[in-house]
Structure 1
């Protein structure tokens, strides 16, 4: 398995090092007290449990492996070897610097070599990596590396665009600013025509 997918696996001691749910709930109470709240008031009594449950959903990608979604390919495609594109895949992730969301959409294309993968599997790969603490640059690279490792296509093109709430809600407070990241491999990197074709298809 390639290094990109090896890095997707949890370390052997991950479960041993992981705090208990009770410890996580206690940490939420500490943060509530830090911001000046009364953790004993009625409206906050169940907040620690709710926050920890929400974290289980927000960060479920740590319990998933992208390779599991890309293990089955289909070769009976009547010789189809042109571009396969998924456009406007919605995603949300959390900035690893401030732990606030960034929300956007991904566009993924590839030129198949020996087969294709189920379309929903590409969306699941996006979910696996986005449901972790991330930077958008790292997220883009991880998705490309996982697809390349599993499918060995002739080329991959990815564009991700998102609004980062660490920029819109705090700091410079500039809502509506979009951040775009790209990754091109194979024919998309080497052939400007293929790259232009991808860009034209996602902007229609």
Structure 2
């Protein structure tokens, strides 16, 4: 067994860390066997013998976002932007996350724009910051705020706009069972918050209009 740091507040940007007790790989596999039995199947059945190992390995990938911080992902800033003063937009960043209430997936796209001040980051870094927060147990609202807060904290831009659209399997596979329902969350800071025309331009561009 090991103790690992984890964010103490889901809506912040890598808040002061608390220590979370992390079970061993063997304990994780035993827990999967318990869940298989709880579901009504036999964990010793041939087709399920290696399932606990596979699930434990998959969790390492699906929840790998706990290993990084926003500062690590956005650490390299380029200051030579040749006088560029407009906002930078990366749209339709696909992601896969898991809701913290039922631990089932929600899948969608993120759109991010920011007005740089002292410099910019590589475009792939915006996709990586989405990936980092998506690969944690999440709510869509918290993830939207975390992405926005991370860019605000590290890049200190004049404004940030983040919009996330996603379909939640907790509504599709269980409960009300309504497939195709899309949930939209958005957060605007700085000049995007202060000027409705900037929000309108952001929305126009992410919808693909000229």
In the superposition, the TM-score normalised over structure 2's length comes to 0.92
In the superposition, the TM-score normalised over structure 1's length comes to 0.94
Separation of aligned partners in 2, 1:106 and 1:127: 10
Is 1:28 the counterpart of 2:36? The answer is no
Among candidates 84, 97, 111, match of residue 88 of structure 2? 84
Is 1:39 the counterpart of 2:48? The answer is no
Aligned pairs for 1:157-176 within 5 A: 157-176=161-180
Which residue is equivalent to 1:194?
198
Is 1:152 the counterpart of 2:160? The answer is no
Please state whether the residue corresponding to 2:185 is helix, strand or coil.
strand
Larger proportion of helix? 1
Larger proportion of strand? 2
Q: CA deviation at 1:37?
A: 0.5
Which runs of no fewer than 5 residues in structure 2 stay unpaired?
1-8
Which runs of no fewer than 5 residues in structure 1 stay unpaired?
none
Separation of aligned partners in 2, 1:82 and 1:126: 22
Among candidates 53, 63, 74, match of residue 57 of structure 2? 53
Separation of aligned partners in 1, 2:53 and 2:185: 35
Separation of aligned partners in 1, 2:13 and 2:184: 24
Is 1:5 the counterpart of 2:5? The answer is no
Is 1:108 the counterpart of 2:112? The answer is yes
- Deviating runs (4+, > 4 A) in structure 1? none
